[in-house]
Each structure stands twice: as C-alpha cells, then as structure tokens.
Amino acid sequence: MIRAGLPRLLRAIGVLLVIAALTCQLAFLMPGDPALILLGPESTDAQRAELRHTLGLDRGFFPRFLDWMGGVLIGDWGTSFASGRPVLGEILERLPVTVELVLLSQLLALALIIPLALGSARRVNGVFDRVVSTATFVALAIPSFVVGVLLIFVFAVHLGWLPATGYVPFSEHPLENLRRMVLPALTLGIAEAAVYTRALRGAAIEAVRSQFAYATMVRGASDRALLWRRILRPSSPSLVAMLGITVATALGGSLLVEQLFALPGLGRLTVGALGARDLPVIQGVVFFAAIVVVVAGIITDIALALIDRRSIRGRS
Amino acid sequence: MVAPELTLAAPGPSGARGPRARFAHTGIVLAAGWLALLTISALAAIAGAGADPLANDYEAINEPPSLAHLFGTDSLGRDIFSRSMHGAAASGLVALLTVVLGGGVGILIGVLAGLVRGAVEAFVGFVTDVTIALPSLIIVSAVVTLAGPSILTIGLIISAFTIPLFARLARAVTLSIATENHVLVARTLGASGWRILTREVLPAVLPLMMPVLMTTVAGAIVAEGALSFLGFGLRPPEPSWGALIAQGRAELSTASWLTLFPALMICITILSVNVLGEHFREASR
C-alpha cells in the first residue's frame, strides 16, 4: 500500500506547488498596475511602492513564490488588507461553520439517498424507481442558488418555520444552531443527493444482478440482509468516490449558500475578500481550498483501498 | 422482494420500448424545441427586437405579468421578459464557448494524449489533476473580479476549466478505441497519423463525448448563473439570469415574478440540456 501510495503523494505535493505558484501570480490578472488599482488614483508613489513591496510585486517570481511558500509552511499566510489580521487566523476562525455546513449537508443527502436508491434498485423500472428517477432528474436541473431562494421563500417567509439568515455558534446554543443550519444544509445537500442517488442506484442494480446476490437470494436470506450486505456494501465504493469528489463542489457551493443565508464561514470570507480585492486573503483561501480538495482525494483513495484492495492496483 | 427476473433483464434499465420510448421521444422533441425557441428569442433580443432591457418605464413599476409585459416589470420599470432574453443570450454565449473551446480543445488534447501516449499523456494527466484540485467557483470568481467582468472573460474562464475534463475523458475513450480492429487495420494498411485521427478515431470518440458535452454545458450555464448571483458576473444593469434572481429575491413575497420567471428559465433550460444528454447517453450504449 505504501509503494502504491508514494507516487500518489508526490503527485499531490506537485499539484499543490503548481497551485501555490499560480496563486502568486493572481495580482497580474488585474488590468494595469495592481498597486494603482488597489489604492486608487489618489495614492502617492510612495504608498504604491510600499504596497508593491508587501505583495512582493517588486521582486521576481521565484523570490516571491519561495517567500510566500516559506511563510505558508511556518503558518504565516500573510496579512489581510481589510482587517489587518493574519490570513491563516481568519481562515481557521471561519472554518468550523463551513465544516458543519458541509457535514450536515452530506449527512442529509446520505440519509435521503440510501433508501431512495436501494428502493429503486429493488424493482428496476417499477413505479417507485420511475418516480425517484424522474424526481432526481428534475432536481439535477435546479441550481443550488434557486433551491436556496425557494427554500427561504417557502419555509422562512411563507410558513415562518425556520429563520432565513443568521448564525448561532453550536457551542452557545446547539438546538438554535441546528435550526438555523437546516435550510443551508438542505440547499447544499439536495443537488448532491440527486447526483448520489443516480450513482448509487446504478451500482446497486449491478450488485442486484450479480451472482453473489443471486446465490444469497437462492439460499433464502431475508430481503434486509440481502440489501444491506450483498448490495449496499459492494455499491459503497462508488458512493465513497462520489463523496470525495463532492468536497470540491461543496466548497464552491458554500460560497453561494453562506452568502444566501448569511453564515460567517469560509465562503462568506471568500466573497468578502473578492469584493474588497483583498489579495492576501484570496490567495490564502484558494490555496487552503486546494489543500482540502487534495487531502480529500487522498483520503478517498485510502478509504477505497480499505473497502476494496483491488482498487490499489487500478490507480497510478 | 427482489424478483429473480432482474437477473434476466439484461438490456439495461433504460427499457427503451413501448409507451416509455414514446414518452422519451416527446421529451427530446420538447427539449430541443425549447432550446431552439430560446436561441431564436435571445438572438432576436440582442438584434434589438422587443423592449430595451435597460430602459426604465416609471409608469409601469413592479407590474405583474400582462400582455404588454409578459414576465412583468421590476422596481425600476424594466421589462423582465426582455431582460430574461438578454440573460439567455449571456448564458448562450457561455454555453457556446464551452462547446467550442472546452469541448473542441479538450477532446483534441485528450485524443492526442490517448494516441501519442508518453510525455504528452503524462502532462495532460498532471494538468487535469491541478485543475480538479482547484475549487472552480472560487477561482472563476477571483479571476473575473480581478480581470474585470465582461461576458467574454466569464465565458472564456468557465470554458477553460472544462478543457481538462474533456481531455481526461477523451483520453480514456481513445485508449480503448485505439485497440479496436478498424484502427489496427487502418494502421496496418499504412494510413497516416492524421488520417487515423480524423477518419478512424475522432468519429468514434465524438458520439461518446456527447453526453459529457451536455452535462458540461449545463454546468457552465449554472456556473455563470452562480457567478452573477454572487454579484461577480456582469455589472449590475446588464441582465443575466443569476443576477435577475438575486435582484428579485428581496421582493419575492410582493413581486414573485421578478425571481420566478428567470428561475424557471434557467431550470427549464438545464432540464432540456440534460434531457438531450440522457438521449445521447442511451444512444451511445
């Protein structure tokens, strides 16, 4: 496993280095002199020179890149223009909100899809299967920001059951926190649930048709044993692989959902930093997100290897 | 009970026979019809037909849908139908760029990587890894905000992100097609590399890429919507579906048409693209 994992790890580090290098060039995307754009035309030459120095724009690419990378490794990710606080501190402070949002959305999605997908696979093309297939097909067509707007309208504005915005830390008031996280988590989870259901249904149908499921059936095992042991288990690799992929999607989705529901998480930090053109924070958030995605990919691979050892050989 | 006949139902879950096939056929016609209608209306809108999407009519503020204003008007008296059609044009451009740039370049790179192998393949694999590790919505927002929002920048950056996706899949498909007999025969008969690429491999790869192309186009339209919804897309007065939904959101309980019509437009469009994608998926089986 180590021999299989080492090239994968080196590749992951290579990917992160390239992304770090790209984030160091972000300032040059701006049309014209970045310092002039960030400080405005009233700024003095001295101010602009100072900003260029703090951003490292007065140096070549390699000194700037190595300097930033060195800082990242010892925990110095730069300082936010907007708040004057360290970037890493800002990120870590917002992280719990986003983690809770993503975890809750995945849990909701999983709780929703396992019965749906297994129910569909039980009788392919049956009434239940067709209803679920149609419903997921339609759900796939609704962008998450539309889902969020509709959920707010129905549950917060029209029915008044749940608050539309605002955040209460879990440590202060657990129940109130969950009440406020339901709609955001649903918004993020529904789109993923649709994707998962279709994937798991396919895998489950394949498992239903397999000889081992047939053999279990012939031996007279109960429906439940058949579904859980012989069908859910062999279908789970595709589910785990999906979970790994959706971490990246969920980070992007958190931008929308946190903005929509005013949750003080990583997505909100990103949107704020983009609006204020807070380069150090943008750079930090992009790199942090890349780390999360890469690590999630590695964890997915390890999980897949633990579930099914054959998958080790299949990957390079 | 899990019926044993499942083991016999080999032709697949599609069951493209009987009333269901007819139902699926109607779906395809409806989807293609909607997309064609939308394209014509959007083209007519940018050619200047209908109301000016930016013109304020203070006589008609927040008017519900009527014959004069099909989708109603907003708080500045702007015609929502016309704004939706101009939004459709923006989405359409993003979709077009995704097909031409993302699909075209991506599939070509992928096929080359699959045929040439070696260093080209390794490079494509690495670039794909990098792109997939990038949280695309964050990067797209960052690039568009820093470089300045224009529909061309937005379309280009969104479609650039789809290149590696196509490249990866096209490479995988090419690897299996390159071992097929017709390619081997062409090679043995001494066909040139170019001929093998254009006559043997590409015609076999392209149909297999159609479902992915559709999924990606749908994704690109949603991405543009999300970008505008967040306020990083086109600058405010310019109409875009995402921005229309974001603007109407505050008045959802008093003037629901502001949000509902653009939201319906984007949902029906994505649904239509997905229906076509599903059709291609069934067809390529």
- In chain B, what are the domain boundaries? 28-45+70-283
Residue pair B155/B143 in contact by the 8 Å Cβ criterion: no
**Which pairs with CB-CB distance under 8 Å and at least 24 residues apart come from B34-39?**
B34/B268, B34/B269, B34/B272, B35/B269, B35/B272, B35/B273, B35/B276, B38/B88, B38/B92, B38/B265, B38/B269, B39/B92
d(CA B163, CA B124): 10
Q: Which of residues 72-91 of A touch B (CB under 8 A)?
A: none
pLDDT, one tens digit per residue, over B45-93 is 877 776 777 777 766 677 777 766 777 777 776 777 888 888 888 888 9
pLDDT, one tens digit per residue, over B205-262 is 888 888 889 989 998 999 889 988 888 877 767 788 888 888 888 777 777 788 888 8
pLDDT, one tens digit per residue, over B112-128 is 888 887 887 888 888 88
Q: Which fold has domain A93-263?
A: MetI-like fold (1.10.3720)
Amino acid at B208: L
| Residue B137: closest C-alpha in chain A | A252
d(CA B231, CA A216): 56
| Residue A201: closest C-alpha in chain B | B13
CB contact under 8 A, B253 and A157: yes
d(CA A215, CA A128): 25
Tell me A162's DSSP state. Answer: S
pLDDT, one tens digit per residue, over B141-150 is 888 888 878 8
- CA angle at A39 for the pair A38 and A42, rounded to the nearest 5°: 145
Q: For the residues B278-285, what does the mean pLDDT come to?
A: 82
Res. B9: pLDDT tops 50: no
Question: Of B123, B129, B138, which to mutate for an interface test with A (greatest number of A Cβ within 10 Å)?
Answer: B138
CB contact under 8 A, A290 and B267: no
**Which residue(s) pair with A79 in the sheet?**
A86
Is residue A21 within 8 angstroms of chain B, CB to CB? no
State both tokens at A297.
């990919």
Q: What is the mean pLDDT of chain B?
A: 80
- Write down the ipTM of this complex: 0.82
- Please give the model's pTM, rounded to 2 decimal places: 0.84
Q: Note the residue count of chain B.
A: 285
Measured CA to CA in angstroms, residue B156 lies from A21, A212, A248, B102 at distances of 21, 49, 21, 9
User: Which residues in chain A have Cβ-Cβ distances shorter than 8 Å to B126?
Assistant: 11, 14-15
d(CA A100, CA A312): 31
Nearest alpha-carbon partner for A137 in B168, B277, B33: B277
Q: Which of residues 153-212 of B touch A (CB under 8 A)?
A: none
Measured CA to CA in angstroms, residue A298 lies from A308, B98, B211 at distances of 15, 30, 28
Q: For the residues B165-180, what does the mean pLDDT come to?
A: 86
| Residue B220: closest C-alpha in chain A | A143
d(CA B126, CA B132): 10
| Residue A274: closest C-alpha in chain B | B142
Please list the ranges in chain A whose pLDDT falls under 50.
315-316
CB contact under 8 A, B142 and A137: no
- CA angle at B47 for the pair B45 and B50, rounded to the nearest 5°: 40
Q: Which of residues 115-134 of A touch B (CB under 8 A)?
A: 122-125, 129
State the smallest CA–CA distance between residue B226 and chain A in angstroms: 7
If phi > 0 it is left, if psi is from -120 to 50 it is alpha, else beta; for residue A76 that is: beta
Residue A145 is nearest to which of B141, B225, B274, comparing CB atoms?
A: B225
Res. B269: pLDDT tops 90: yes
* B28-45+70-283: CATH superfamily: MetI-like (1.10.3720.10)
In which residue ranges of chain A is CATH 1.10.3720.10 found? 93-263
Measured CA to CA in angstroms, residue B135 lies from A286, B1, B139, B167 at distances of 7, 43, 6, 18
Q: Which pLDDT score, from 0 to 100, does residue B22 have?
A: 67
Burial class (CB in 10 A: 0-12, 13-18, 19+), B71: buried
Measured CA to CA in angstroms, residue B60 lies from A134, B79, B246, B262 at distances of 40, 9, 21, 19
Amino acid at B4: P
Is residue B215 within 8 angstroms of chain A, CB to CB? no
Residue with tokens 């820093």: B146
Which residues lie below 8 Å from residue B179, measured CB to CB, with a gap of 6+?
none
Q: Which pLDDT score, from 0 to 100, does residue B67 have?
A: 66
d(CA B204, CA B106): 16
Question: Of B121, B137, B256, B267, which to mutate for an interface test with A (greatest number of A Cβ within 10 Å)?
Answer: B137
CB contact under 8 A, A205 and B13: yes
Res. B18: pLDDT tops 80: no
In this structure, the dihedral spanned by the alpha carbons of residues A254, A260, A266 and A272, taken in order and rounded to 10 degrees, is 130
The helix (run of H) or strand (run of E) holding residue A10 is helix A2-24
CB contact under 8 A, B134 and A11: no
CB contact under 8 A, B259 and A251: no
Res. B272: pLDDT tops 90: yes
